[in-house]
Amino acid sequence: MRIFTCALMGLLASVTMAAAQNPVVLKSEADRVAVIEKVKPTVVAVFARGGQGGGTGVLINDAGYALTNFHVVQPTGPTMQCGLADGILYDGVLVGWDKVGDVALIKLLPKKEGDKFPYAPMGNSDLVKAGDWSIAMGNPFLLATDFTPTVTFGLVSGVDRYQPPAGIILEYTNCIQIDTSINPGNSGGPLFNMKGEIIGINGRGSFDKRGRINSGVGYAISINQIKNFMGHLHAGLDADHASLGALVRTEAEKAGIGRTKVTAILEDSDAYRRGLDQDDELMGFAGRLVTSDNHYKNIVGLFPRGWRVPLEYRRSDIRKEILVRLMGVQRKELPDPTAPKDDPKQPPKKGPGPQGPAAKFYEPKAGYANYYFNREEKKRLFADLKKHSDFSALAGDWKIEGNVNLLKLRAQTPFTTEIGEQKVGNSVITKAAVTIGAFTDRLEPLDKDNGLTDMRKPNGSGGLIAAIYVWRHLLTEGEKGFPSECNHGGSEPIYPPPPQGAAPQGGWMKRAVLANVLTTRLANYQCKWFFAQSDHKLLGFELRLQDANEDPCEVYFSDYRNVNGRQLPHEMAVYFRDVHYGTFSVTKYQMAPAPAKNAAN
């Protein structure tokens, strides 16, 4: 054995000597060291308060937001302590999480208001290939008492990997497989490419007979998947993953390539309403090819619940592309799935409550990881809306005039929309009407006796009168106009139609615009508002009639112009189901100030 050791040392010495003489090796080593030095300050050692248990995280902006795993923050509870490589311990608070995807966003509190944190940029994980080099950093076995991260270096062993969930949470879809050593404690830490960009969050490994330590197979959640959830995480949501509402299986063909088919579909799924049915063959999903059920699961796993993505399928010889609203994975009232179900002796493993200085940034609410941050994001959304144009002084009668191109008429027809309040006896009644050509549809939007057909007026629009009424309500009343429900809904893509008369450019994926979402409820009307992330303009909204498992009325705004110092859209495209109801070109807005103080319901 001694001979062995001596010989090995001799070998190592010669390797070092040889390497030292090679400029390529020296350069590569220097580059690697430089990258590690650069990103080291962004790696966070996450601890439960008191130091019992923890994991790793990585800072993604200078305000102190950091990504980690859900399974790291679940045991720490909503407040945690976070050590950086400079040896300083910060207080941290949970912001948002995605249980199915095993991702959580936390925020480190600066020691002084306004202090900036170092952070690492996010890369493009779609460009990562098997065989690329990667660097993992973290706190394996929680061994760094001075919070200096441990560095490991290795190969990307595979991309687009699927690792099934534990129950329904912690499902790793579209993940990056690495031979870079990760161990317990590395969870939540960053996987970097050789440019020092975050390409994934390390979270699990394949273990077998050798125990829960590195077996050469680790998995990182791809950063591109996390980017899709980033809006939700920042808004403090308990984000849910998407499902199609259909079972999809790849046929086990005896020879050749199996086809990926829908074997069952829920009738209340949007996919079914859009036309997908049993035995249809899936071809493409969200712009990617579907070649197996693992691929399919990988693609579905990229998206949050409620997102609309294009889906391509084949029935006999006909290929069709549809835009599908995705359903959720988790049930609404989800019991803690990690709690052992049949063992009453063992209380569910739950983290401690909020503690320490970060506790004031935590506000629990069902459906949210931390409602405090939803409130903050919502505030910002309304501030931007108001900055863009303030309508609060114009809560009186509105009249909008113009021409409409109705799909069914195929000709320009004049239209008028009127919304106003009338005094009837002692009470004030809100009235709204849309006149197209010679036909007028009227609606008292807040009348409790309204039936579904009333609220859907004009016929075929899916509820345009009500939509315009709620839109005016949002502009004039703001957040206080929706006392029963008004929340930030994270971010979602919308697919604005091409300008009137123009042909659509490219496929659905090219038209997608990521928007910030506000969700509101007023009486029977449930709305999702889409704000541009760039200039905060309202790009459009969807109006859904509550308790009606039906398709919404979709309104898309464009051609914003100045009207008396306020920006207003002069084109409104209205869609219902898969049909373009019509596009309204506005020529005139008349907006009166609110009359004498009235309690408008």
Partner 1 sequence: MIRYKTYYLPITLLAVAVCASASSAQAPVTETALTVNKKLVKLFGIGGFKGLPSYGSGILVSKQGHILTVNNHILINPGILVHLYDGRQYQAKVIAREPELDVALLKIDEEVDFLPHYNFDEQAARPIGENGDWILAMSNQFKIALRDEPMSVSKGIVAAVADLRGRRGVFDAPYAGDVYFLDIVVCNPGAAGGALVNLKGNLLGLIGRELKDSRLDTWINYAVPIQAQANVLIEGKPGTVTMAHFVKKGMEGTYKESDKIAKVDAGGYHGITLVVEATRSAPPYVEEVVPGSPADKAGLRPDDLILYVEGFSVPTIKVFRETLKLYAPDSEIRVQYQRGNKLENVKIKLTKHPKLQASN
Where on the chain is the footprint of partner 1 (CB under 8 A)? Answer: 3-4, 7-8, 10-11, 14-15, 17-19, 21-22, 24-25, 28, 129-133, 154-155, 157-158, 160-161, 163, 177, 179, 206, 208-210, 214-217, 250, 252-258, 291-292, 294-295
Distance of closest approach, residue 183 Cβ to partner 1, in angstroms = 12
Residue (141 or 207) nearer to partner 1, CB: 207
SS3 399: strand
Q: Is the peptide bond before 458 cis (omega within 30 degrees of 0)?
A: yes
Separation between Cα atoms, residue 439 and residue 447, nearest integer Å: 22
Residue (94 or 217) nearer to partner 1, CB: 217
Element (H, E) at 19: helix 2-21
CA atoms within 13 A on the CB side of 500: 23
Residue (30 or 143) nearer to partner 1, CB: 30
Both tokens of residue 601? 């319901």
Q: What is the DSSP string of 277-342?
A: -TTPEEEEETTEE--SHHHHHHHHTTSBTT-EEEEEEEETTEEEEEEEE-EESS-SS---TTS-SS
Residue (217 or 326) nearer to partner 1, CB: 217
Residue (148 or 214) nearer to partner 1, CB: 214
Distance of closest approach, residue 167 Cβ to partner 1, in angstroms = 20
Residue (208 or 449) nearer to partner 1, CB: 208
Distance of closest approach, residue 70 Cβ to partner 1, in angstroms = 22
Distance of closest approach, residue 5 Cβ to partner 1, in angstroms = 10
Distance of closest approach, residue 280 Cβ to partner 1, in angstroms = 19
Residue (179 or 550) nearer to partner 1, CB: 179
Separation between Cα atoms, residue 335 and residue 337, nearest integer Å: 6
Distance of closest approach, residue 289 Cβ to partner 1, in angstroms = 10
Enumerate the β-bridge partners of residue 310: 323
Q: What is the DSSP string of 465-519?
A: HHHHHHHHHHHHHGGGG-SSEEEEEEEEEE-PPPSTTPPPPS-HHHH-EEEEEEE
Residue (211 or 425) nearer to partner 1, CB: 211
Residue (291 or 338) nearer to partner 1, CB: 291
Distance of closest approach, residue 395 Cβ to partner 1, in angstroms = 59
Q: What is the DSSP string of 169-180?
A: B--EEEEEEE-S
End-to-end CA distance of the chain: 89
Distance of closest approach, residue 443 Cβ to partner 1, in angstroms = 54
CB 416 within 8 A of CB 400: yes
Distance of closest approach, residue 131 Cβ to partner 1, in angstroms = 3
Separation between Cα atoms, residue 353 and residue 325, nearest integer Å: 36
Number of residues written out for the chain: 601
Distance of closest approach, residue 7 Cβ to partner 1, in angstroms = 3
CB 564 within 8 A of CB 385: no
Element (H, E) at 6: helix 2-21
Residue (29 or 62) nearer to partner 1, CB: 29
Distance of closest approach, residue 281 Cβ to partner 1, in angstroms = 14
Residue (22 or 590) nearer to partner 1, CB: 22
Both tokens of residue 381? 């959304």
Separation between Cα atoms, residue 491 and residue 226, nearest integer Å: 12
CB 191 within 8 A of CB 178: yes
CB 475 within 8 A of CB 468: no
Instruction: Indicate the pairing of strand 89-98 with strand 238-239.
Output: parallel
Residue (81 or 250) nearer to partner 1, CB: 250
Distance of closest approach, residue 338 Cβ to partner 1, in angstroms = 23
Distance of closest approach, residue 129 Cβ to partner 1, in angstroms = 5
Both tokens of residue 334? 């989800």
* CA angle 421–423–426, rounded 5-degree value: 135
Residue (159 or 545) nearer to partner 1, CB: 159
Separation between Cα atoms, residue 236 and residue 374, nearest integer Å: 5
Q: Residue 371: which of 238, 481, 241, 531 has the closest Cα?
A: 238
